[in-house]
Amino acid sequence: MDEKQDQQFMRAAIDQAYIALENDDVPVGAVIVHENQIIAKGRNQRHQLNDPTAHAEIIALTAASEHIGHWRLHDCTIYVTLEPCAMCAGALVLARIDRLVFGCDDPKAGACGSLYNIVQDARLNHRVEITKGVLAEDCTKILQDFFRVKRERNDKEF
């Protein structure tokens, strides 16, 4: 994929993040692409579903597996607005995703280069190619704005 295509698909992930924001959840979005087509979308829904595992990546992986009809997601790329956490990074390895493209680093919980690099750990049976920093400013801004509003409202839930 080229940079223009990466930006196009990251914009679709950002659209999912805005839907999460509208539902008062941490604005993280994801899309999964196979053969240059979006086959799955996901957004954080932890508060909406009252489920700690309802991260954008997990929702998108489930939808992609349903679409393809198999849990192995070979030849797929996932676009995520925020660097995946340890749970999601592990799920990407287990799903055999070929490539991960993310917008902004997560220095507090990122497991794809910031704190850990689960998706490229040679001890595991699969490694994921990483492209980071795609539309990073846009991805960062939506998160910063969300948490600024939460702090201003003294919302301790996040």
Residue positions annotated with a catalytic role: 57
Q: How far apart are CA 74 and CA 99, in angstroms?
A: 9
DSSP 112: B
CA–CA distance from 8 to each of 38, 42, 133, 156 (Å)? 11, 16, 14, 35
Q: Is 130 exposed, middle or buried (0-12, 13-18, 19+ CB in 10 A)?
A: middle
Q: How far apart are CA 75 and CA 148, in angstroms?
A: 38
Q: How far apart are CA 17 and CA 20, in angstroms?
A: 5
Q: How far apart are CA 84 and CA 68, in angstroms?
A: 22
* Structure token pair of residue 52: 């700690």
